[in-house]
Structure 1
Amino acid sequence: MIFKEGQKYASTFEVDGFKFKKEVTRCQYEVSVKIKTLDGQLVDEMTVLDIYFIEQVDELLSQSIYNYIERNADELDKIMAYYTKGVGSFGN
């Protein structure tokens, strides 16, 4: 066993210019995956019990992230995200 029970891994990632935090924790019989905003608001949480469900969990978490963005970001947020992710004719 490489990852010990209770061990937590955290990283940040970006979706369409919006940044999120991913927390992955090994529990006794499953792996907990939490997606949060950078200020700690929970977007979604899933438990993975079997390696064969990784793709389905990824799809569900991805959909939760896009739903969160759609519900919480206004047009100005989307414009800010567009330009801060390094796109447009002049990049970052």
Structure 2
Amino acid sequence: MALLITDECINCDVCEPECPNEAIYLGEQIYEIDPHKCTECVGHFDEPQCVQVCPVSCIPVNPDFTESKETLMQKYLRLQDAAIKPA
């Protein structure tokens, strides 16, 4: 499951630097999460770091991207492999 930032986001800027996969970016009005990069921090941490630091609790699971922990780990491994391969 990827996470999702809701419109309750106050653009406090604390979530973006916490994301180890660089999945969080500033959208047109609020921060957004790229579901293809979000692993809910599986492979990096025990808990999603953005959820831990969010002062308004506006980062639920994205219902459009339901993935098991195993699938999230596979995504993490793919992202890590892509990050270390030369372009």
* TM-score normalised by structure 1 residue count: 0.28
Which structure has the larger Rg over C-alpha atoms? 1
Q: Which has the higher strand share?
A: 1
* Larger RCO of the pair (alpha carbons < 8 Å, separation 6+): 2
Q: Which has the higher helix share?
A: 1
* TM-score normalised by structure 2 residue count: 0.29
